[in-house]
Chain A
Amino acid sequence: MVNVEKISKTYLTSRALDDITFHAAKGQFAALLGANGAGKTTLIRILATLTRPTSGTAKLAGLALGKQSQRIRQQIGVMSHTPFLYGDLSAEENLRFYGRMYGPSRLNERINELLARVDLEHRRYDLVRTFSRGMQQRLSLARALLHCPRILLLDEPFAGLDLDARTVLDELLGAELEKGTTILLTTHDLEYALRKAERILLLRAGKLVLNEAARDIDHSRITSMLHHSVERPQP
């Protein structure tokens, strides 16, 4: 589903990603770990077609990044720690706008269904400005799921959320996995990653230093790797 080949991203003065290669199969849940600045967000942004890589290729749902980026966007749902929502519009209006842009059929039913699943039915006519962060993230997830994407790219979706919101998000992700959606998620929460993900990827200073099945990983080993990733590698 997600095939990444030697993706690199260099800015004029720094190298954010260096020769990243990995594959995530259909229906797999891969967790991307790493210290701040390791390149997790950059990688997600590249896969989300928001930034172009300097070199390397990627295929999402069989579509080539770059040439077929527009079609890729139809297949992916993206969440970030900013919710991408319009504060002056209501929950329903937000979903309706994005829904129209993606053009799914039976939009009204889909909106109702998603609002119910993220438990925001009772606030559908309220302006998003009045929502708590947890509610906004829940709505953001609903937005990401509107067009039934086959791949979910989530950049620290749990950051700053209360327990209720976390639970809702967690359940929804579980339901998506059951449907066969591929999930790539970045997080700082090691416990969560080891518990839920099938595959663990670790980025350190732009390089992929770990790419293994979660069950094969030794807990203490990965903890020490995570701690070490705060230091820059020696030249």
Chain B
Amino acid sequence: MRALRQIVFILSKDLLIELRSKEIVTSMLVFALMVVIVFNFIFDPGSREIKAVAPGILWVALIFAGNLGLSRSFAREMDQGKMQGLLLCPFDRSLIYIAKMLGNVLFMLLVALFISPVIFVLFGLSPGASVFPLAFVLLLGAVGLSAVGTLFATISAHTRAREVMLPILLFPVSVPVILAAAKSTVHLLDRGGAAETAAWIRILVAFDLIFVVLCYLLYEHVLEE
């Protein structure tokens, strides 16, 4: 289908640029790493609190890094008016949303997959058999954050205080997703938590769906001038 191919074109263009400049993923990684290390510094490793707090720290690091990645990826597009170049192309503009969102999901997932082992090592945890479910939760969380984040990044890129506006817009709206993702992670790492994990994952999926559909429908209003 034409639409699908166009999404792939935009996405591969973004990935190619990122591959060359490596600007976004590295800054996200560094930032996330800093957050994790600072927290590790503050808390006493090996204590009981640590293990309960670790999943929360993971998601805090991801949301901060995610914010950074989202605003950077849009700043790059807006710079030199390239967004207009895209808007001139003859296709359904909502596809831009999907392509950008997928790109952001990918970046966030990459960072998450890198940060998780670091957290496990530093905080003395072990995922055991839950590696794949954990990756799945990371993916779902990234989708939820990117769904709203991509829309808000587009908005904030057009405001005066770009970098400041995005977290202000994003924080209140990301609470359901972050909460569900963090709870899923907690129960996943807790040996006996299979039922709760499943419940929270279902909730997370529901949130993801709601936000993706809503933001997809509203995106065109954000693009037109």
Direct interface between A and B, CB < 8 A: yes
Contact B90 A88 (CB under 8 A): no
Q: Which residues from B are CB-within-8-Å of A59? A: none
Q: Which residues from A are CB-within-8-Å of B20? A: 88-89, 127
Known contacts A82-B80, A82-B81, A84-B80; decide if A52 and B225 are in contact (CB<8 Å): yes
Known contacts A86-B17, A98-B89, A101-B91; decide if A80 and B9 are in contact (CB<8 Å): no
A37 to B10, CA, bound (A): 34
Contact B16 A89 (CB under 8 A): yes
CB under 8 Å from chain B, chain A span 79-135: 80, 82-89, 93, 97-98, 100-103, 127
CB under 8 Å from chain A, chain B span 114-160: none
Q: Which residues from A are CB-within-8-Å of B87? A: 49-50
Instruction: For the complex of A and B, list the 6 residue pairs with the smallest distance between their C-beta atoms, beginning with the closest.
Output: A84-B85, A82-B81, A73-B90, A101-B89, A74-B90, A51-B225
Question: What's the minimum C-beta distance from B130 to chain A, rounded to whole angstroms?
Answer: 38
A101 to B225, CA, bound (A): 21
Contact A70 B90 (CB under 8 A): yes
Contact A45 B225 (CB under 8 A): yes
| From B9, B81, B85, contact of A100 by CB (8 A) | B9
Question: What's the minimum C-beta distance from A108 to chain B, rounded to whole angstroms?
Answer: 16
| From B13, B90, B224, contact of A86 by CB (8 A) | B13
Question: What's the minimum C-beta distance from B92 to chain A, rounded to whole angstroms?
Answer: 7
Q: Which residues from A are CB-within-8-Å of B26? A: none
The answer to the question of A71 belonging to the interface, with a C-beta cut-off of 8 Å to chain B, is: yes
**Residue tally, chain B, CB below 8 Å to A:** 24
The answer to the question of A2 belonging to the interface, with a C-beta cut-off of 8 Å to chain B, is: no
The answer to the question of B47 belonging to the interface, with a C-beta cut-off of 8 Å to chain A, is: no
Q: Mark B3-23, 1 if CB is under 8 A from A, else 0.
A: 001100110010011001100
- Some 29 contacts from A to B, beta carbons below 8 A apart, are A45-B225, A48-B88, A49-B87, A50-B225, A51-B224, A70-B91, A70-B92, A71-B90, A73-B88, A73-B90, A76-B88, A78-B88, A80-B81, A80-B84, A82-B81, A83-B80, A84-B85, A86-B17, A87-B80, A88-B21, A89-B16, A98-B85, A98-B89, A101-B9, A101-B86, A101-B89, A101-B90, A101-B91, A143-B85
Chain A residue with the shortest CB-CB distance to B86: A101
Q: Which residues from A are CB-within-8-Å of B86? A: 101
Known contacts A50-B225, A80-B81, A101-B6; decide if A89 and B17 are in contact (CB<8 Å): yes
Q: Which residues from A are CB-within-8-Å of B81? A: 80, 82, 84
The answer to the question of B82 belonging to the interface, with a C-beta cut-off of 8 Å to chain A, is: yes
A97 to B85, CA, bound (A): 11
Chain B residue with the shortest CB-CB distance to A97: B13
Question: What's the minimum C-beta distance from A16 to chain B, rounded to whole angstroms?
Answer: 12
A97 to B13, CA, bound (A): 7
CB under 8 Å from chain B, chain A span 41-79: 45, 48-52, 70-74, 76, 78
Contact B9 A97 (CB under 8 A): yes
A103 to B89, CA, bound (A): 10
Q: Which residues from A are CB-within-8-Å of B82? A: 84-86
Q: A83-B80, A100-B5 are in contact. List 13 more A-B contacts (CB 8 A).
A: A49-B88, A70-B92, A73-B90, A78-B88, A84-B81, A85-B82, A86-B13, A87-B80, A88-B21, A97-B9, A98-B85, A100-B6, A101-B90
Q: Mark B56-94, 1 if CB is under 8 A from A, else 0.
A: 000000000000000000000000111011111111100
Chain B residue with the shortest CB-CB distance to A128: B80
Question: What's the minimum C-beta distance from B25 to chain A, rounded to whole angstroms?
Answer: 14
Chain B residue with the shortest CB-CB distance to A74: B90
A143 to B225, CA, bound (A): 23
